[in-house]
Structure 1
Amino acid sequence: MDRRTLLTGAALALGLAGTAMAQDDKTKVGFVYVGPITDGGWNQAHHHSATEMQEHFGDKMEFVYQESVPEGADSERVMTQMALSGADIIFTTSFGYMDPTINVAKKFPDVKFEHATGYKRADNVSTYSARFYEGRAIQGLIAGHMTKTNKIGYIASFPIPEVIRGINSAYLHAKEVNPDVEFSVIWAYTWMDPAKEADAATALIEQGADVILQHTDSTAPQAAAQKAGNVITFGQASDMAEYAPMPRVSSIIDDWTPYYIDRVQAVMDGTWESMDTWDGIGPGMVGIGEITDAVPAEVKEAALALKDRIASGDYHPFTGPINKQDGTAWLAEGEVADDGTLAGMDFYVEGLTGEIPN
């Protein structure tokens, strides 16, 4: 064998080794979802953004996920398995994954974790969420204008600050345009259970509600409203546009794609740091779905104007004067709620009836 052949063989071997090394150097990204990726709402929105992130990076990354993982011990086992399988970063996308994420992160200090909607962080755990209450303000305005019975129903998942903020924001903005409006809240104690959500929607409609808002993940409330007729709804997390123009007249859309791309890129670059992110309409993390022609033109115009004011920072949905449910003062005239209070919100505003469950 001559020198040229030896050099060619060596070069080929190095090339193959380099290719294998490049494959081994792929960044492995894991996602854990609390519901199915076809739920039409929260989990579908996360998975859609994750797949867009995957398309962005192409063969630079490996994408793994597990859907319909219950909060608690099951999620801890799934996260542990992902970490053991070589994941470089794991996104855990439900509030109830908070403690399991912290627990697993302690065992795998070299793995980065991103927990959605939680508040516990560590050196290798970041938190991120969206200011959904901004979108609820717009929904409340539309709801207050469009209700004919002055009764609005709200299907709530769990009594955590994220959900309470949304109820308060929607109520304040409905009340502002319609002082006679009343809210009825049903706590479903689930993020997604189509049967429970449908039952809750039906119960609210039977109580006279002609507008249904939801902080649950399936399209079951939309179907129940469609069956009842003359009831309007709003898409949650995903557009749920298959129910447009009625009953679904608009929606809150979660767009996590830019965040996912940014955080995975940081892992690739070695610049990832633990941080907390809470973005809203302005940065694009919260989108407002098309407001359909079922909404009167003047109401649509007012809703879009409110959206623009929130996006620009000219207006905050929690601007005083606002009292707490018991009548005690919370925010003075022109005073804006601080993020700390909002992040831990555990009270209703004045005018809402009923108690928040423990």
Structure 2
Amino acid sequence: MSTIRFPHFSRRQVIRGLLATAAFGITTKLSGCTSQGEAAGGEDLTVGFIYVGPKDDYGYNQAHAEGAAGMVQKHASVKLVEEANVPETTAVAESMRSMIDIDGATVLFPTSFGYFDPHILKLAEEYPEVQFFHAGGLYQEGVTPNNVGSYFGYIDEAQYIAGIVAALTSQTGKLGFIAAKPIPQVLRNVNSFTLGARSVKPEITTQVVFTGNWAEPIKEAEATNSMVDQGIDVVTCHVDSPKVVMETAEKRSIFCSGYHANQAALAPKGYLTGAEWDWTNVYSKIIEDVQAGKTLMDGSIPHILRGGLKEGFCKLSEYGPAVSEETKQAAETAKAQFLDGSMTIYKGEIKDNQGKVIIAGNEELKQQDPKLEEMNYLVEGVLGSVGS
């Protein structure tokens, strides 16, 4: 326990020490304390990454950490400052303030959903010269500080393809989806996975269970076991670490589809494929823009960055040994349609699982449509409710 908390605790101690020193009348140039940029004539850049869980969780945090590491490999002049296991509380505000004041970070990537409001928003007001990039936060023109940017990927494209693979592999016609919270990004994955599955098997169903939080390993294991007992033979998930779901599925001899990062090693027999992030591309492009003198503040870096398979925001895991050649071909056909722009997931008529038409027959919602970022429903074929 002390190993996990120590780095976070030491940052607070350093801040207190600096404040105490200032009280005795000693001036400290905080912006240059550890920044290599000052020493190198401003050429170097200190970038901070904050994760809500461990960097080796086989999931959300690992995907971001791998992206940060890949970005540094491409940009050797970047100094990377990281902190893991930071909760979605005022603790993250202290971590951000520490990275700015002590490490000299001028670009921050606080990656967890709950960091955005109020913590990033408050710190952005306090540090108007620092650029804050958040994964998934909703930027509102004229409301959100102009030094805050939102980036996220249309990973539901990969989930749609994973749904095709799951449906064509399933023998029972019953799929399972274990999700953390019924927020738009999660609902979009549940729905797209199901729409992909039903594009090849119209009668297939997806049972969804919401655990209530991003990391609930006991509930995730219980939900997976319960699904197996109900005859579900393929499970996937949207939780911070899919590790428990993948390992439980493998132990129960059913198939699984991954999320965030590649979990094939956890389920060598049953892993079908997975929807993976490719954050290295995203982070590298942002840092290239920053180093070129572009900023969120002057609008030369867009406040909203989005992309899918075509733009390199996400990718599909390699197919597992249980995936047939026919299934691979169907999946690759769908993937090609995403890459050439001819595929639209949310094209009417689409009903929710209560029978209400949510997208009319002549209506088509492209990936960047803001309506999709406000999603609050489950599509036809999903068993469960947003409040479950």
TM-score by length of 1: 0.89
Q: Which one of the candidate residues 332, 341, 345 is aligned to 2:360?
A: 332
Q: Which runs of 5+ in 1 are unaligned?
A: 1-17
Q: Give the aligned length.
A: 339
Residue matched to 2:48: 30
Range moving further from structure 2, 324-333 or 284-293: 324-333
Q: Which one of the candidate residues 280, 285, 290 is aligned to 1:257?
A: 280
State the one-letter code of the partner of 2:70. E
- CA deviations 1:293-317 (Å, max 9, x no partner) are 3112111100111011012111111
Structure 2 distance, partners of 1:267, 1:354, is 44
Structure 2 distance, partners of 1:19, 1:320, is 52
Structure 2 distance, partners of 1:217, 1:39, is 8
> Any conservation in 1 of the 2:37–2:46 contact (CA below 8 Å)?
no
Aligned-residue offset at 1:194: 3.0
> Any conservation in 2 of the 1:310–1:317 contact (CA below 8 Å)?
no
State the one-letter code of the partner of 2:329. E
Are 1:141 and 2:160 matched, yes or no? no
Aligned-pair identity in percent equals 32
> Any conservation in 1 of the 2:181–2:212 contact (CA below 8 Å)?
yes
- CA deviations 1:102-123 (Å, max 9, x no partner) are 1111110011100001113421
**How well do the aligned residues superpose, as a CA RMSD in angstroms?**
2.0
- CA deviations 1:256-314 (Å, max 9, x no partner) are 11221221222222212251011101111110011123112111100111011012111
Structure 2 distance, partners of 1:73, 1:205, is 39
> Any conservation in 2 of the 1:250–1:290 contact (CA below 8 Å)?
yes
Q: Which one of the candidate residues 72, 80, 90 is aligned to 2:97?
A: 80
Aligned-residue offset at 1:320: 1.6
> Any conservation in 2 of the 1:198–1:221 contact (CA below 8 Å)?
yes
Structure 1 distance, partners of 2:270, 2:383, is 26
- CA deviations 1:15-74 (Å, max 9, x no partner) are xxx99731775311000111100001111111111011112221x221101111111222
Q: Which one of the candidate residues 153, 158, 175 is aligned to 2:176?
A: 153
Residue matched to 2:321: 293
Residue matched to 2:332: 304
Structure index of larger Rg: 1
Residue matched to 1:105: 124
> Any conservation in 2 of the 1:244–1:292 contact (CA below 8 Å)?
no
State the one-letter code of the partner of 1:353. L
State the one-letter code of the partner of 2:290. V
State the one-letter code of the partner of 1:131. Y
- CA deviations 1:139-163 (Å, max 9, x no partner) are 1111122222222111001110000
> Any conservation in 2 of the 1:263–1:272 contact (CA below 8 Å)?
no
Residue matched to 1:42: 60
State the one-letter code of the partner of 1:307. K
Are 1:341 and 2:371 matched, yes or no? yes
Structure 2 distance, partners of 1:214, 1:302, is 22
Range moving further from structure 2, 287-296 or 186-195: 186-195
- CA deviations 1:127-181 (Å, max 9, x no partner) are 0001011111111111122222222111001110000011111112212322332
Q: Which runs of 5+ in 2 are unaligned?
A: 1-35, 297-301
State the one-letter code of the partner of 1:125. V
Relative to structure 1, the CA distance from residue 343 to residue 91 in structure 2 (aligned partners, 3 Å threshold; closer, same or farther) is: same
Q: Secondary structure at the match of 2:80?
A: strand
Structure 2 distance, partners of 1:258, 1:312, is 19
State the one-letter code of the partner of 1:52. G
State the one-letter code of the partner of 1:246. K
Residue matched to 2:244: 220
Q: Secondary structure at the match of 2:326?
A: helix
> Any conservation in 1 of the 2:246–2:267 contact (CA below 8 Å)?
no
Moved over 4 A (4+): none
Range moving further from structure 2, 22-31 or 148-157: 22-31
Range moving further from structure 2, 20-29 or 344-353: 20-29
Residue matched to 2:385: 355
TM-score by length of 2: 0.83
Structure 2 distance, partners of 1:115, 1:42, is 14
Q: Secondary structure at the match of 2:145?
A: coil
